[in-house]
Amino acid sequence: MLENCFTIENDIRQFDFKKCIQYINFVGTQKYGSNFHLHAEDKDIIYKLIIYAIRAEDNCKEHGIDLNKGILLIGPVGCGKTSLMNLLKLFIFPEFDYPVISTRNIVSEFYVEGYQVIHKYGKSNKVYCFDDLGIENNIKQFGNETNCMAEILFHRYDLHLSRGIVTHGTTNLNAQELEKAYGNRVRSRLRSIFNLISFPISSLDKRK
């Protein structure tokens, strides 16, 4: 239970990081199977994700994390990005909850439903986590090739500026590869809407 991860002092929740790790491991094995477990080398990344989720302002400031922005979790294939973004929701306040949605699925929606999909994800006040940014293909709609996710990210940037709406994401790509996928205008806006949290390039594929 989440309640076992913290005590309340002066009406403020004080979290025990070790108990948080135990809770994530417990829920992770329930959700993903007995092979799931957190790795010691990922401790710093998991700590940053937890202090963001519980909105620990002082800890976030110490680690350069802006609570007004979302999280872009970067790392090689198989390092556990999607699983962690799903499990992070254990600690998120309800008003900041989000679905984790594959960018490939969004592009497939766009192929069937057209530009209303860009409005659906780009202009909604909901918080979203876009999974695997940059690996999806461009789609032709009425003969015009459209970079669906780039358009959505532009709209999410505008939403962030005008209404403070947060967006999260995961990606296997580095900054240069994201620029190639979405163009330099999107890349220049990524730091405005995301806290960049990266796994080391040497991270092992944990699905093996």
CATH numbers and ranges of domains, the chain: 2-198 (3.40.50.300)
pTM: 0.91
Q: What is the pLDDT of residue 44?
A: 94
pLDDT band at 17 (very low <50, low <70, confident <90, very high): very high
Q: Residue 165 contacts by C-beta under 8 Å, 6 or more apart in sequence?
A: 125, 126, 127, 156, 159
Q: What is the pLDDT of residue 139?
A: 56
Give tens-digit pLDDT for 120-166: 999 999 999 999 999 876 655 544 568 899 999 999 999 999 999 99
Mean pLDDT of 34-59: 93
pLDDT above 80 (res 208): no
